[in-house]
Amino acid sequence: MKLKPLYFALFAPFALAPGLALANTTLAPVVVSADLRDANSEDIAASVELLSADELQDRGANHFGEVLLQIPNVNFSGQSSRPRHIQIRGMGERDEYTGAPNASVGFAIDDIDFSGIGMVGNVFDVKQVEVLRGPQSTRYGASALAGLVNIQSNEPTAFNESLIEASIGSDNLSELGVITSGALSQQDKSPQYRLSFFKHNSDGFRQNDYLDRTDTNKKDELTARAKLRWWAGDNTQFDLTLLHADINNGYDVFTLDNSFTTLSDEPGKDTQLTNAASFKISWDGALAYKLISTTAYAESKMVYGYDEDWVYPAYPPRWGDSTYQNTKNRQSASQELRWISAHPVWQNSTDWLSGIYASRINETNRTDYWGISTSDYTLDKLAGFIQLDHHISAKTTLISGLRIEQVSSEFSHSAGDEFSPSNTLWGGQITLNHQLDMMHLLYAGLSRGYKAGGFNTGLPASAGNEFLYYENETAINYELGLKANYSRFKGQINLFYIDRQNPQFDGYSYDPLTGTDWVFFTENFDSAKNYGVETQFDWQANSQWKLFGSLGLLQTEVTGSPLNSAFSISGREQAHAPSYQFLAGTQYRNDNGWFGRVEIQGMDSFYFDNVHDIQSKTYTLAHARVGYETKDWDVYLWGKNLTDEKYATRGYYFENNPNNVGVEEQYIALGDPRQVGLTARVRF
């Protein structure tokens, strides 16, 4: 593990904090909605990163991918136009080629499940982004073995408000966002609405020399959202959310020389057309509980493809002139009923919560790659969960939770593959939460996460069961944390240790039986360990200056031998698990309207995959934002990656260069280079 001097700088404010309570500038608490029971961020006994609407605006973020790498121990696999394969604490997938999705990181927007297809993570007009690290099985089930990303958009308002935001910048960037919100009448509890629209266009930082184009890796994205809230009497509230996303991005990233200049004759695409809705009913009656019913439905059509040889026909092709294209259609529906106690039971000592959850995902795939193949996949989940918050004393609470989940799936493939596994899985948590004083919360927890086993497709008929199936994974997470709140200083530090049994790892190789063609597979190793530290702070030094920082330290281990014995990662760090990530910066805002922010983020090197030892390089990025703010309008000049650092978000190692026949080489997907722009915002 490589330690930086920044490590000590990030921990120092905990020692300095007691004197901070004397200031009159405070940091307001924020409610975490991803927990089973809504709680203030400083009161929840878990490792949580919470980005409020103000924080997202100050960072200049309009998509979750723009802040993802600034969150301690969170990474992603950059082989799509927007992040869709996320890793938390080194756990998570890097691709999905089999047509049988099995996410380790949950991803939800307004109670709609988008796990594994998180490209719709636009954060314009978003109330907050919540990232819960570690197994969240009690809260979210089998799709949250590593953690959960939860995005909550802004609610309708009783007063009228509207906003227009526009941006221009390098890479031919143009953005337009519109918001309007209010009530249908002036009467008390009149129905309320909120409408938002956001359009993003940019060229994608690539120059295709063969086609003489700058937009083969473009982003062309539209997100529209409508929300309606109304009431029936004094005790029942209805919330309807409608979401439409039309993402029509190009995909032209990989090159033989690892540059921003591509040579493909048939550049790919990465599109997603989504229509989704959620409907929530909250009933707070005279009985001893509150009932919340949440219904969600989403339909998404996605096309992902690329020029498989990366070059044009006249270039001496190594693999021939070929393309890869996958068309995916996914429908998902879910229903949750949650009962929450209105008053403590058992001599006013215990709050309780219980619920049931059912969902279905149906996904069809058509893949055109040296022929056409099709598949149909259905995943059904049925779960029951319960949580008890037992107040041992005024300062100490024991939180215990349990979730039992039935996971059943059916898969059929045009090549003749048919699978229908069914698993009963369980997870839970026990957490002791102790309020040391008004400013310090100490917690210690034990949680058990789970992830269903599955099957590998596209293997030859002679493949044995050891290649076809992989088993359930379980993860035992031990966590110790401290949260501090000194009015204008907030900080947290937590230590974690995750013991994984039958850990699932994905990889790719030539066919392990025939030695030809590419196959993508998932297999179990014997065990794995993921452990480390996460810390972060926000210090409002005075009414104008704020200092902030975060640090994630991570160590990972693997034990076991791969089925394809040509390579072993036993004893090595896991893929996409950098040993450190950090963010540090300062922000200035005065009463005269001037605003400034500077931030530095960095990441250690990490292995790209579990089938070779090729790594990325360490890197540090610098961002800045200056502006002028008034009651009715704001304007900002901003720059991202100001030093134009070259860094990788995904990498492979294989033979592909026709000029070096028989030689395996490293190929990387590059992160965005320097970009500067101007953003203006008008409120009325």
Number of domains in the chain: 1
What pLDDT does 29 receive? 60
672 in Cβ contact with 205 (< 8 Å): yes
Residues in the chain: 684
- pTM score over 0.95: no
What pLDDT does 383 receive? 97
385 has which bridge partners? Answer: 355, 403
What pLDDT does 572 receive? 87
Helix (H) or strand (E) holding 194: strand 192-202
Name 588's Cβ contacts closer than 8 Å, sequence gap at least 6: 544, 545, 546, 594, 595, 596, 597
Q: What is the CATH number of the domain that holds 358?
A: 2.40.170.20
Q: End-to-end CA distance of the chain, in Å?
A: 51
Number of neighbours of residue 24 by Cβ within 10 angstroms: 8
Show the domain range for 568: 6-683
Nearest to 296 by CA among 339, 222, 241: 241
* Beta-strand runs (E) in 219-371: 219-232, 236-251, 261-262, 268-284, 289-307, 323-341, 350-368
What pLDDT does 420 receive? 92
Per DSSP, 68 falls in state: G
Report the amino acid identity of residue 370: W
Per DSSP, 91 falls in state: B
What are the tens digits of pLDDT across the range 366-383?
Answer: 999 888 999 999 999 999
79 in Cβ contact with 86 (< 8 Å): no
Q: Which regions in the chain score pLDDT beneath 50? A: 1-24
18 in a domain, yes or no? yes
1 in a domain, yes or no? no
Question: Which is it for strands 147-153 and 105-109: parallel, antiparallel or unpaired?
Answer: parallel
What pLDDT does 20 receive? 41
